[in-house]
Amino acid sequence: MRKWLILFVIVDFIFVGLVLRISMQQERQIASVESESNLSAGQQNKFELVKSLHFKADSQQLVLQTEKLQMICETSSLIEVKYRAVNVAYAGAQPTITHTFSCVEIKKDLSLTTLQTNMSDFISMQKNKKLNLNVSQMTAAQVYSDEDFPSDWQVSEITVTGPSTFTINQFEIEKVHANNSFSFTITSVR
């Protein structure tokens, strides 16, 4: 019995030592740079694009604006803006609504600098899983007609599809813009 007690104490000391050693290590800075000069050319282009994004929401529409919209569509086919419900989850997954815009349609109007979503279309996604509009398409996931429609949302992702597909995620947006600047509340739902 004494032999087991000594073995347990030794294993316990080793475990505590490992925990202390790991906790004392410096934290790693993953995907972070000290200044813009440390970015590659592709990262710098993406950073400039994120800086150019502006988001505005009112009772009529959601508007994502960038003066680089036409430049993006020169080499891309689709732009997807994904909205995610805040503080709501069903079976561990958060409700999302994705609005997909065709670059073919965007290039038809060279002065276009905004991606607009009508609030009525957005709210109708509670009943529709997929909505085909004139120049775009909306899809919903984890949005249920028998549940209350979430009132708090945010832009969680912008995906540009084409030869060089890339995604701008929520954390990249928050790093450049103030927290919650790409968030909105739907007051008519409450």
Three-state helix/strand/coil letters over the chain: CHHHHHHHHHHHHHHHHHHHHHHHCCCCCCCCCCCHHHCCHHHHHHHHHHHHCEEEECCCEEEEECCCHHHHHHCCCEEEEEEEECCCCECCECCEEEEEEEHHHHHCCCCCCEEEEEHHHHHHCCCCCEEECCCEEEEEECCCCCCCCCCEEEEEEEEEECCCCEEEEHHHHHHHCCCCCCEEECHHHC
138 closest CA partner among 89, 98, 187: 98
Residue 22 in any domain: the answer is no
Cβ atoms within 10 A of the Cβ of 129, count? 13
Residue 49 in any domain: the answer is no
Q: What's the whole-number mean pLDDT along residues 55-81?
A: 92
pLDDT value of residue 2: 82
**pTM here?**
0.76
Residue 9 has pLDDT above 90, yes or no: no
Residue 62 in any domain: the answer is yes
Mean pLDDT score across all residues of the chain = 86
Residue 113 has pLDDT above 50, yes or no: yes
Domain that holds residue 158: 55-189
Q: Which tokens hold the place of 56?
A: 């505005």
Residue 119 in any domain: the answer is yes
pLDDT value of residue 190: 47
Residue 126 in any domain: the answer is yes
66 closest CA partner among 176, 140, 165, 164: 176
Residue 30 in any domain: the answer is no
Residue 37 has pLDDT above 90, yes or no: no
Q: What's the whole-number mean pLDDT along residues 35-50?
A: 78
Residue 27 has pLDDT above 60, yes or no: no
Q: Cα 131 to chain center, whole Å?
A: 21
Band the pLDDT of 24: cuts 50, 70, 90.
Answer: low
Residue 46 in any domain: the answer is no
The share of the chain scoring above pLDDT 90, in percent, equals 47
Residue 55 has pLDDT above 50, yes or no: yes
Number of domains in the chain: 1
Residue 30 has pLDDT above 50, yes or no: no
- Residue 115 CB burial class (10 angstroms; 0-12, 13-18, ≥19): buried
Residue 24 in any domain: the answer is no
